[in-house]
A and B are shown apart, each in its own frame.
Chain A
Amino acid sequence: MGCRMKVFGLDEGAAIDMSAEERLDSCQKILQVMAKSGFPCHIRSLEEAMDSSFITTDSSKDSLASTELPDLDEQSQGHRSNNGLDTDRPQPAEKPKTNGLPIDKDFKEKCIHYDESEIKLKELLKSLKSVTAKEDLIKSLRYNILIDTARKHSHTKVMTGDCSTRLSVRLLSDISQGKGAHVAMETNLDFSSKEVTLHNVLNDVESVFIPTLTTKAPQNTSIEHLTESFITGLQADYGSTVMNIMRTGEKLNTEILDSTEQQCIICHAPLDTSTGIASALNAVEFSQKISRKNDDKSSPECCGEGDGSCNTKSGRLNKEEALSTLCYGCRLMVKDLSDVNKLPEYIQRDITNRVNRSKMKADIQDYLLADD
């Protein structure tokens, strides 16, 4: 029954312009706390997603659904048995570098190694105008690193320490960001009572405060930040708010996908953009079209060669094409981005592949018998 547990930490210092020393310090604190859990620990940093060697999740065939739905029951049982007895813990592989504190060197090396990626990440974040979009992007990168780490260590499930307040904030802010189709994906945990168990387990563990993009920022900095203060405020007056929101989340469905082609490249949620003619998406596209002059097609990220109809052969992504591979919510984020070519390489690769494949499909469409 025992299951293999590891603790992962993520260093997001690059996103908030922490100095190398601060990040090192923060990582050490995280590691110390994680080490107390008695599990092998790993720490990775956010800019790793910018590295050209970062593996895409889109191309791998595994169903993501299994990673989405942590079976908390099983895991907390595993947790308990591990806590109680140390006997069935022979995990010699991946001897973590945590137990002593010889980590400094490792991390210094890491910091140097990821310098280039760090710059890329900072540039990417800078080219996003709104904090909302920045947060959204960081969330996607964080998620992908988590999944990637879990895969590399052949873990089948990921458990995060989000409490119900956190989850309900995310649910509502997802809805406000046009991600209604995904909310079930993020909150679909059989949560209620187990959450308490989980909380108790975590309760007497000391914690590290990690600043984020919106720490100390005014509440209207980003949609998520605003939603957080909205919900915590409401919760103070109407105690059932968080539970009500969680109840809504529980009743929502995650679509089951038959192919990765219908997934959003960035967040891997089911594509929600093939809506009917009478839909919000259609209406908003019409509004944009009608209040601008017609035939005005000078897209700013065109390569500047030829007649402006960039294709992917020039090695640069076209924003319109990129948008076609994204869900409604991620489109909003990318629209905020001044240059799609600043996106992490793995995302660009996936977009190019998807676009090429759909072009191929369009070419041979007439000869395809079954419509899949």
Chain B
Amino acid sequence: MPVSCSICDGKAILKRPKTGDALCKECFYYAFEEEIHKTIIDAKLFTSGETVAIGASGGKDSTVLAYTMKELNQRYNYGLDLVLLSVDEGITGYRDDSLETVKRNQIQYDLPLKIVSYEDLYGWSMDSIVKQIGLKNNCTFCGVFRRQALDRGAMMMKVDKIVTGHNADDIAETVIMNVLRGDIGRLRRCTAITTGTDGALPRCKPFKYTYEKEIVMYAYFKKLDYFSTECIYSPNAYRGFARAYIKDVEKIRPSAIIDIIHSGESLSVKKDVRLPVQGTCERCGYMSSNPVCKACVLLEGLNRGLPRLGIGKTHKERRKADEAEKAKKAAENLNSEDQKSCDNSSDQSNNRTCGSSCQCSTDISKLTLNSKPDVSKLDF
């Protein structure tokens, strides 16, 4: 006996992962889109006239995001100018292929596209970073760099907001991760639907309450063109554990993903717990909870040949590096050598050997990226 759709009594072809209701294709599209629309309206994500960049990776989440954003923008007259923004991390065999998908999407959805690359912004592609650091911890670089790259690309395109395809599963996973890491600052922030309202470009997640499985279903039935391969440099082991846990919990109780987000939303942090204050990086001006932002620290590590500088507990590697420098400085003073002896070549290997007293100009241009360079604030 065919199951009938619980909305229109037509022939149901799927069971909604989120509610367990049997629906037909059209009613599923309707429910899926209406929910996203409701999220957008309830959380007042946009104002008419804004230019919004859709963070597009070519994967299922961002492809469905681009499709639904365009659809809803027309249907409900949001009055938004939509653009696609992609980050090219420089991962051969992964990102180059997925960017092809984005380029096809650009044509299919008729939206302007901008691609910013790590190579251009930082002077390092992920391929070259992995060559130096290996497969362990490379996700730290990629994650930190991507965040900034997306913002910088968005600034170049002069957009007002960025939307990303983070779905409910991603957010639930992040809640669990932050509990496991005891990271109270992030735990408090990670369930916010819009972040970066202070200073930087606001980012929002219209899929905050959308199940990953339903995104896949939507893409599958709509036959959307997306790229589905795991990153070749993956897996971020710890996140993987949280992910596996979420999937298992979801099997036991399908509402668990939303339940976890509810938990995250209703956690209240003790008043006397010190939370990191968001300031700006003194090197590149990007927002940061430390004097120097993580991206600049990581970049400094790469350029000085100390790639572990920004990984894990900073002070340990920092101390090692500082001690080495002190010794070097002492030796330099002894030989009455000054900074001018340092070669200004743009060669990376040369940069790596520069000490703290070096003022290679090529270094500076790379570090300050496309923001106003502030040479006086550079301390190496």
Contact = CB atoms under 8 A, between A and B. Distances in A.
Given A222-B252, A283-B258, A284-B258, A291 B269 contact: no
Interface centre among B27, B31, B251 (most CB of A within 10 A): B31
Contact of A220 (B39, B44, B238, B251): B251
Contacts of B16: 287, 291
Given A234-B241, A245-B179, A275 B187 contact: no
A249 to B, nearest CB: 9
Interface in A122-176: 130, 132, 171-172, 174-176
Interface stretch (B18-26, B104-112, B124-132, B148-156): B18-26
Contacts of A234: 180, 241
A180 B271 contact: no
Given A176-B260, A277-B42, A253 B176 contact: no
Interface string B265-287: 11111110100000000000000
A279 interface: yes
B11 interface: no
A346 interface: no
Nearest to A283: B209
B325 interface: no
B256 A280 contact: no
B21 A291 contact: yes
A332 interface: yes
B255 A284 contact: yes
A181 B260 contact: no
A283 B38 contact: yes
Nearest to A281: B262
A148 B260 CA distance: 31
B262 A280 contact: yes
B31 A290 contact: yes
Contact of A251 (B175, B176, B265, B270): B270
Interface in A240-291: 241, 243-245, 247-248, 251-253, 255, 272, 275, 277-284, 286-288, 290-291
Contacts of A277: 42
Given A180-B264, A181-B266, A251 B184 contact: yes
Nearest to A254: B268
Q: How large is the interface on B (under 10, 10 to 19, 20 to 34, 35 or more residues)?
A: 35 or more
A328 B245 contact: no
B182 interface: yes
A292 B7 contact: yes
A171 B209 CA distance: 23
B259 interface: yes
A178 interface: yes
Nearest to B209: A283
Given A251-B269, A252-B270, A278-B43, A287 B181 contact: no
A226 B38 contact: no
A183 B267 contact: yes
B193 interface: yes
Nearest to A176: B249
B255 A332 contact: yes
B188 to A, nearest CB: 9
Contacts of B262: 178, 180, 272, 275, 279-281, 284, 328
B322 interface: no
Given A277-B42, A278-B43, A291 B245 contact: no
A280 B267 CA distance: 13
B332 interface: no
B265 A279 contact: yes
Contacts of A329: 259
Nearest to A173: B249
Contact of A130 (B42, B176, B252): B252
A275 B184 CA distance: 21
Interface string A200-226: 000000000000000000011111001
Interface centre among A174, A178, A183 (most CB of B within 10 A): A178
A176 B256 contact: yes
Contacts of A252: 184, 267-270
A244 B256 contact: no
Interface in B1-60: 6-7, 16, 18-19, 21, 23, 27, 30-31, 34-35, 38-39, 42-44
B253 A332 contact: yes
A290 B34 contact: yes
A292 B259 CA distance: 20
13 contacts: A130-B252, A172-B176, A174-B263, A175-B264, A226-B252, A227-B245, A244-B179, A248-B187, A253-B269, A275-B265, A278-B42, A279-B262, A290-B31
Given A172-B179, A281-B262, 8 more contacts: A177-B259, A178-B263, A223-B253, A234-B241, A248-B179, A286-B35, A291-B6, A291-B18
5 smallest CB-CB distances across A and B, nearest first, come from A180-B263, A178-B259, A244-B182, A278-B43, A283-B209
